[in-house]
């Protein structure tokens, strides 16, 4: 049944009961009982009458009844209906706005440093964990070099035509030598000229299969491990996560599920899905529980908004993760404001 159909089935009384259950849950996280609602309803109703209304709402799938309580909680469907059709979104809190303005007011030419500050400020303001997806670097590659740091650690250095440099540490295949690292670097540099990282990654996949015989076995293994690295399977330098400890404070009773979320964030699991969220259109999007695979096991919610560059192209996103009882009315506007502010700052920079 569509949200419009569900809303149309709610009369004024059931709509008010539903709204008060959700608002109480978002404020306290606790189930709401009928006796509690008798004290806050706009019309005087008996506890029995309210109980009947709550049972109807539960039958519609909008409320759940925990085993340990006679009260009701909103279901994910109920939260979705409330967020999309009934929630009143506040304007940006002036104090929150002032914090973000100061955070981006420093004239820092390093975009990574600026976005790291944004992520820290956003997690502090919202008391959730923040995600900031940095822009892709799309300048052509000028040079690639592998450097051995230890038997089990190596560094790949990418120098771009605009002077930007990225260093990535990874675990190389066993037995690598300075000679094999030079050979792997030469092989990649021969293919990299004039290509962006994304273009090189696509080109490498076919070229490695066709020209593998030209490479020493060790060098071929090193290039292959580079493919996995650049595909984002084990590393993505574009995602900044701050404020994980806030999740523990907000969901202390659900430590097992929070540990799963920590694990996901630490290993950047399903990062491709988050990248796609940033490319699916303008404005704030809210994902609750099972609506997004990354957060389905954590009982968490994600509020995310993309930001654009000077060409009005979406290049990244900012978001906040927290329990499903996030203060959506406050967090939605600050995430939206932050995304627009980041876009304006980036658009005012050259390149």
Provide the 10 A C-beta neighbour count for residue 343: 21
Domain finish residue from 44, 61, 86? 86
Surface-to-core class of residue 207, CB atoms within 10 Å of its CB (0-12 exposed, 13-18 middle, 19+ buried): middle
Query: Has residue 211 got a pLDDT over 80?
Result: no
Provide the pLDDT confidence category of residue 96 given band limits of 50, 70 and 90: very high
DSSP of 259-316: HHHHHHHHHTTTHHHHHHHTTS-SS-EEEEGGGSGGGTTTTEEEEEEEEE-TTS-EEE
* Whole-number pLDDT of residue 310: 82
Minimum mean pLDDT range among 142-156, 158-172, 319-333: 158-172
The verdict on 126 and 270 lying in the same domain is: yes
Overall domain count for the chain: 3
User: Whole-number mean pLDDT of the chain?
Assistant: 81
* Whole-number pLDDT of residue 234: 42
Domain finish residue from 183, 217, 232? 232
Give the domain CATH number at 57: 1.10.10.10
| Residue 71 CB-half CA count within 13 A | 15
* Whole-number pLDDT of residue 206: 73
Give the domain CATH number at 287: 3.30.450.40
Minimum mean pLDDT range among 78-82, 172-176, 205-209, 228-232: 228-232
Minimum mean pLDDT range among 131-145, 219-233, 304-318: 219-233
pLDDT in tens, 234-271: 445 578 889 888 877 665 456 777 777 777 676 655 55
The verdict on 223 and 254 lying in the same domain is: no
Domain finish residue from 53, 69, 86? 86
Give the domain CATH number at 221: 3.30.390
* Whole-number pLDDT of residue 76: 87
Minimum mean pLDDT range among 21-25, 54-58, 207-211: 207-211
Provide the pLDDT confidence category of residue 57 given band limits of 50, 70 and 90: very high
Instruction: Give me the domain span that covers residue 62.
Output: 3-86
Provide the pLDDT confidence category of residue 350 given band limits of 50, 70 and 90: very low
Q: What is the mean pLDDT of residues 4-21?
A: 86
The verdict on 204 and 260 lying in the same domain is: no
The C-alpha torsion from 185 through 191 and 197 to 199, rounded to 10°, is: -160
């Amino acid at each position: 049944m569509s949200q419009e159909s569900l809303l149309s089935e709610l009369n004024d009384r059931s709509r008010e009961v539903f709204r008060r259950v959700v608002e109480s849950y978002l404020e306290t996280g606790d189930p709401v009982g009928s006796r509690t609602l008798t004290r806050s309803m706009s019309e005087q109703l008996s506890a029995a009458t309210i109980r009947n209304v709550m049972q109807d709402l539960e039958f519609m799938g909008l409320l759940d009844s925990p085993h340990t309580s006679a009260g009701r909680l909103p279901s994910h469907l109920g939260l979705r209906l409330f967020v999309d059709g009934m929630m009143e979104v506040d304007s940006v809190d002036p104090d929150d706005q002032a914090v973000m303005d100061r955070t981006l007011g420093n004239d820092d030419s390093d975009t990574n440093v600026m976005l790291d500050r944004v992520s820290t400020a956003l997690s502090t303001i919202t008391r959730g964990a923040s995600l900031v997806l940095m822009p892709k670097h799309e300048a052509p590659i000028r040079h690639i070099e592998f450097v051995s740091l230890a038997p089990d650690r190596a560094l790949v250095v990418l120098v771009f035509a605009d002077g930007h440099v990225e260093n990535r540490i990874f675990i190389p295949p066993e037995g690598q030598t300075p000679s094999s690292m030079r050979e792997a670097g030469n092989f990649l540099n021969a293919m990299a000229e004039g290509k962006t990282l994304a273009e090189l990654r696509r080109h490498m996949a076919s070229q490695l299969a066709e020209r593998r015989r030209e490479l020493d076995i060790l060098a071929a293994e090193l290039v292959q491990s580079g493919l996995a690295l650049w595909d984002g399977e084990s590393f993505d330098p574009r995602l900044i996560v701050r404020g994980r400890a806030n999740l523990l404070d907000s969901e202390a009773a659900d430590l097992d599920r929070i540990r799963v979320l920590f694990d996901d964030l630490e290993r950047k699991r399903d990062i491709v899905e988050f990248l796609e969220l940033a490319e699916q259109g303008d404005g704030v999007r809210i994902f609750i529980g099972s609506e997004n695979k990354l957060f389905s096991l954590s009982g968490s919610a994600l509020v995310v908004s993309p930001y654009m560059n000077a060409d009005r192209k979406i290049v990244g996103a900012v978001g906040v993760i927290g329990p499903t009882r996030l203060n959506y009315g406050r967090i939605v506007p600050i995430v939206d404001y932050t995304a627009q502010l980041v876009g304006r700052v980036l658009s005012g920079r050259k390149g």
